[in-house]
Structure 1
Amino acid sequence: MGIERNLGDRTKGRELSELLDETNTNNMKIRKNRRYRQKITMSPVQKLFLACKHVFANAAPGIVPSPQHIEILRSVLAGIKPEDLGLKPDMPYFSNISNDATPKITYLHIYECEKFSMGIFCLPPSAEIPLHNHPGMTVFSKLLFGTMHIKSYDWAADLPADVSQTQIPEKRLAKIKVDADFTAPCNPSILYPNDGGNMHCFTAVTACAVLDVLGPPYSDPDGRHCAYYRSFPFSNFPAEEISIPEEEKKDYEWLEEIEKPESLQVVVKMYSSSKIVEN
């Protein structure tokens, strides 16, 4: 009896061990399957959020992500399509229903924290986002559909810092970086704090949607407010002390800071097509 009992106990112990091993194996498979399902079902917006969280982990004014991080976010944005975000050109956002001379622009707010912000600008035909800046920010923009005219500037860094302000009060010389039409699909654009066209304006040639990522975002309390400008040809204010070859003068314009244009109408709505999981 004793021998049989010990043998039975050992047998039961072995069965229990095998059962635990099998259970652990199954649990691991379940966890792996769950992670796999989460991976393949993760929305493009969630992928973008996670990329931004990683790339802008140390975001601060004037701090530019590393080239490797820039490429990570650029690649994620490049793969996003309008249908991934639930957007179509025939949606009301992209129609000038009131036939306003200056159509309303809709901004679909996706996410914002102290490190970065994500959102979509929806522009009806002829809508315009006036010339504005992005102080200390790195900005990624993806034209999702439509044709848009983009004009962007950088401050004329190859001249003495105070020469333009000394010669032309309240105006500062800027160099045109881009002045062209873009039609989707096209590569994401990247603006840096001091390069790449930090000041730009958008004009919708057709209905357009633009996915914008800013790191860090605008913040009035922190001195990162959005400044607006109007431009003047270089020839309007001759400055003899500024030496620019005649053939290059067309590439420079004077910018003067102005109040936010009254014609700019932006309606802010919450993006609701996909939820972001922060944890």
Structure 2
Amino acid sequence: MGIGKTLVDRKVGDFCELQRDTITNSRSRRRNRRRPKKAAPPVQILVETCKDVFSSGGAGIVPPPQDIEKLQSVLDGITPEDVGLTPNVPYILTNAEQRISRITYLHIYVCENFSIGIFCLPPSSVIPLHNHPGMTVFSKLLFGTMHIKAYDWVVDSPSGSSAIVKPSENVSPETRLAKVKVDADFTAPCNPSILYPEDGGNLHCFTAVTACAVLDVLGPPYSNSEGRHCTYFRNHPFSSFSVDGISIAEEEKKEYEWLEERVLPDDVEFVGKNYNGPKIVEN
């Protein structure tokens, strides 16, 4: 890039103007060589850690426990300032009359093994219930309060083989039974969360109680060409349908819901904006 060349030319010019005794001062040069390198920005460390953690990953492959702990530790230390974000950016503030959930996405990094980005949600906005097929997902709430409702699919294996649990009634074939794993408010600072391809709440919905932002790491990333596309869902109470061969106690029925595939609702809009934090340098 031109910027780099200009900087080099300037440095060369400055060097040529130095006094001869400064140039020949070997002791000064030794001191300069010993000067420690400047620490990498936390977001750069995050990218390098993800490269290591997801280096041999793929759809449905979960990183080893020690790698998961390492990535969680890096995420735990990241602050909004580390990614150039503050709670008062204009696209997070909104007025009460706004009828559309306008979610802003700040793209940080993507490669074939993982992606990193930030979702910024104004108060009361919603990221609808959606899935993460074959992905391991790490989420760090940077600021604000968010309600998270997450589910895992229910599978019935009476003979040792997994089967999708669907209603007995004549309803949409894309309707399946899921179990609620999380249904609670979270306020920053809090521990990073993790969901796995088959458990931990692979399907979830975000609702902004206050203006908030969440840093997401997906490994591998969404890819339509590889069949990892984002699917949205509408939830129904368990009592809406019945299913053959499964009996659930009355007090446990609130833990189960039917999820029906749907298109992205008209009252939700995703808008991409430039990430203005520290630039990522390829090593």
Q: TM-score range by the shorter chain?
A: 0.7 to 0.9
Work out the CA distance in 1 between the residues paired with 2:239 and 2:182: 19
Work out the CA distance in 1 between the residues paired with 2:164 and 2:217: 33
Kept in 2: contact 1:234–1:254 (CA 8 A): yes
2:207 counterpart residue number? 203
TM-score by length of 1: 0.85
* Amino acid in structure 2 at the alignment position of 1:63: I
2:83 counterpart residue number? 85
Distance 1:94 1:151, change over 3 A: same
More helix by share: 1
Work out the CA distance in 2 between the residues paired with 1:81 and 1:158: 42
Kept in 1: contact 2:42–2:78 (CA 8 A): yes
Is structure 2 residue 146 aligned with structure 1 residue 148?
A: yes
The superposition leaves residues 238-259 of structure 1 with CA deviations (integer Å, 9 ceiling, x where unpaired) of 3352121221111000001111
Work out the CA distance in 2 between the residues paired with 1:143 and 1:157: 30
Kept in 1: contact 2:167–2:242 (CA 8 A): no
Is structure 2 residue 198 aligned with structure 1 residue 194?
A: yes
Structure 1 alignment gaps of length 5 or more? 1-21
Shift of 1:163: 6.0
Kept in 1: contact 2:178–2:258 (CA 8 A): yes
1:165 counterpart residue number? 166
1:19 counterpart residue number? none
1:231 counterpart residue number? 235
Work out the CA distance in 1 between the residues paired with 2:274 and 2:219: 20
* Amino acid in structure 2 at the alignment position of 1:83: E
Aligned-residue identity in percent: 62
* Amino acid in structure 2 at the alignment position of 1:191: L
* Cα-Cα RMSD: 2.0
2:110 counterpart residue number? 112
TM-score by length of 2: 0.83
Q: How does 1:1-279 map to 2 (within 5 A)?
A: 26=30, 30=33, 33=35, 36-38=36-38, 40=39, 42-96=40-94, 99-158=97-156, 161-162=162-163, 164-165=165-166, 167-168=168-169, 169=171, 170=173, 171-239=175-243, 241-279=245-283
Runs of 4+ more than 2 Å apart: 157-166, 238-241
The superposition leaves residues 133-180 of structure 1 with CA deviations (integer Å, 9 ceiling, x where unpaired) of 000000000001100000000001355644632624421100000001
The superposition leaves residues 189-245 of structure 1 with CA deviations (integer Å, 9 ceiling, x where unpaired) of 001000100000000000001000000000000000000000000011133521212
